[in-house]
Amino acid sequence: MLSHKEETQRPIRVEPPEQTASLLPEHGSVLLQLKESMLSRQPGFRGRYPNHVPPSFSFLAADEQQVMLEWYEDVTKHNYRGEAGPPLMSAILGFIMGGGIRRLVQCGHAYGNSALLLGFMMRRMGFKNGLVSIDIGRQYTRYTQRWIDKAQLNDYVKLILSDSVAPGIVEQASSCMGGAPCGVFIDSSHMYEHTCKELDLWYDAMVPGGMMFLHDVSDFAAQWDITGQGGAPRAIDEWMRKRRIDVLRLNRICAMQPSENVYADGCGLGIVQKSHVSIDEMLTYESDVLELRSKKSEFHQIPLRSMSGTGEAKIVGLCVNGNATSITRPVQAKSGEPLQVDLYIRPSDSLQECAVSYTIKYSNKCVSEGNHTCKAELRKGAFYKVRLELPRPDMRAHEKGLCYVSVGLCNTLTNQHICWADNAFTLTAQADSKSNPGSFAILSVEEVV
C-alpha cells in the first residue's frame, strides 16, 4: 500500500474511455472525417476524443466543416505543419464565444488553421471585422488569404502582412476592428526578445479586462526559439516579474508522456487578464508604501488587498476617473461618534491646495458626505500624512455597525486626481464623541520623511 506522499506524487495518467459507438452517429460524416484528418496529423490527441468531436470542430456549420476538411487535405498534401491543436482552440473558443469577445488580434497565423476557426467564431457571433490576424510571412499570409476567401470570411477577418510589433501596428489593427482589442492571441515567432516586445505592446493595447492567450508557454516549448535564448517561457517569466502581472500557465512543466497531462497540449497555454485599473507604475517601497499612478478618463472599481493585512482596515475598492481617485474601506462605527482618518498621499505634481471629499455609507445608503478644501503647500513626489475628522454618521435606529468610508482627492487647479501612497489611508481611533456632530475638519498635514 502506498503512503499518502507516494500516492500524491504519482503522475496522473488520463486513460481513454472505451469507445461507445452510439455517441458517434450524432455527428455527420464530414465532421467525423474532419476529426480523423486532425488526428492523423496530431496522433498524440487520439486517446482524448474516442467518443466525441472536440468543441473547436463541433461548433462548425456544415459548410464550415467542409472548408476545414479540405484545408486539412491540402496542408497534408503540401506537408505544411504547425497548426494549433484542439485543446488550445477549444479552450480559446470557450473564452471568446462564452464571453462574447468581439475584437481579437492574432499574432501569427502561419497556414491559417486558427485564423479560420477564429473567423468562424466571429461569424457565428455576428461580429464583423472581429479578427485581425498578423503574420510576417508572405507565403503564410498569401496561403491563409486563399482560405479566408474560400470560407467567405472577409467581412469578419482581416489579414495583415507585418511584424506583430512593427510601429503603428496597434493603431492599424484597432482601426480595422473599430476599437481597441478585447483579446489578443500570441502564437508567432516564439523568440525570446520578440515575445518580450509583443507582451508589452499588446497588453497595453487591450481594453481594461481584456484577455491575452499565449501558446507555447511550457518549458518544453522553449526549444522553438531559433535564437536559443529561452523563447516564450523565459519571456513570460521575466515579464510577470517586471510588470507584476499574474499569468495562469497550463502545463508550464509538462509530463514526459502526453497521456499524463490533464490538459492535453504539452506546449502549454498562458492566460492573462488586463487589470481594470490602468496603472502606469506600481512600486513597493520600504514600510509597505504603495504608489499608484493611474491614467485619466477611466472609471473602474476592483477589489484590492491591504498590503499590511490589517484586518478591517482593508482597501475594498478603487475608483479612478478623470477628476479624482477615491478609495473605500469598511469600518465598525458607532452612531453619533465622529471618525478620524489618516490619508497617505504622494502628489504627482506640486500644488498649493486640493479638494478632499468623503462619503460614509451604511446599509448601502449614504449617511454622511461632504467636501473641504485643503490649503497646504505639497511638493511633487513627497510623502504626506493628512489627518481628517469626519462627522458623526447617522445610523438611524442602529447604535453601531459596519460602515463604508470613501475618501477622494483632486487637484483643485488642474481637476486631476492625486496619487495615493502607503495603503492609501488608515482609520484611526474614533474622535471624542463630544465633538461637533456636523464637523468635517482637516486636522493636520505633515510630511513623512
Can you give the pLDDT at residue 427?
45
| pLDDT tens-digit series, residues 228-263 | 999 999 999 999 988 878 899 999 988 666 668 899
Does the pLDDT value for residue 23 go beyond 90?
A: no
Can you give the pLDDT at residue 164?
98
Does the pLDDT value for residue 440 go beyond 80?
A: no
Give percent of the chain above pLDDT 70: 67
Can you give the pLDDT at residue 105?
99
Can you give the pLDDT at residue 18?
52
404 three-state secondary structure: strand
Q: What is the pTM of this model?
A: 0.62
Q: Which three cell numbers mark 303?
A: 477589489
CATH code given to domain 279-447: 2.60.120
- What is the Cα Rg of the chain in Å? 28
Half-sphere exposure of 337 (CA within 13 A, CB side): 17
Can you give the pLDDT at residue 391?
72
| pLDDT tens-digit series, residues 92-106 | 999 999 999 999 999
| Domain 23-273, classified CATH 3.40.50.150, yes or no | yes
| pLDDT tens-digit series, residues 159-188 | 999 999 999 999 999 999 999 999 999 999
Can you give the pLDDT at residue 354?
76
Does the pLDDT value for residue 379 go beyond 50?
A: yes
Can you give the pLDDT at residue 369?
79
Enter the DSSP assignment of 44: G
Q: What is the mean pLDDT of the chain?
A: 77
Please classify residue 116 by burial: count the beta carbons closer than 10 Å to its beta carbon, then call 0-12 exposed, 13-18 middle and 19+ buried.
Answer: buried
Can you give the pLDDT at residue 144?
98
Can you give the pLDDT at residue 208?
87
Domain ranges of the chain: 23-273, 279-447
Can you give the pLDDT at residue 149?
98
End-to-end CA distance of the chain: give it in Å, rounded: 63
User: Cα separations (Å) of 141 from 82, 111, 136?
Assistant: 14, 7, 8
Average pLDDT over residues 264-287: 65
User: Cα separations (Å) of 307 from 11, 278, 285, 311, 320?
Assistant: 37, 19, 11, 11, 19
59 three-state secondary structure: coil
Half-sphere exposure of 377 (CA within 13 A, CB side): 0
Can you give the pLDDT at residue 314?
32
Does the pLDDT value for residue 69 go beyond 50?
A: yes
Confidence category of residue 449, pLDDT binned at 50, 70, 90: low
Among 236-245, 267-276, 342-351, 373-382, whose mean pLDDT is lowest?
Answer: 342-351
Structure-model confidence comparison of residues 62 and 341, the more confident one: 62
| pLDDT tens-digit series, residues 183-228 | 999 999 999 999 999 999 999 999 989 999 999 999 989 999 999 9
Structure-model confidence comparison of residues 67 and 369, the more confident one: 67
Can you give the pLDDT at residue 96?
97
**Of the candidates 341, 310, 329, 316, the residue with the CA atom closest to the CA atom of residue 427:** 341
Can you give the pLDDT at residue 260?
80
Can you give the pLDDT at residue 1?
44
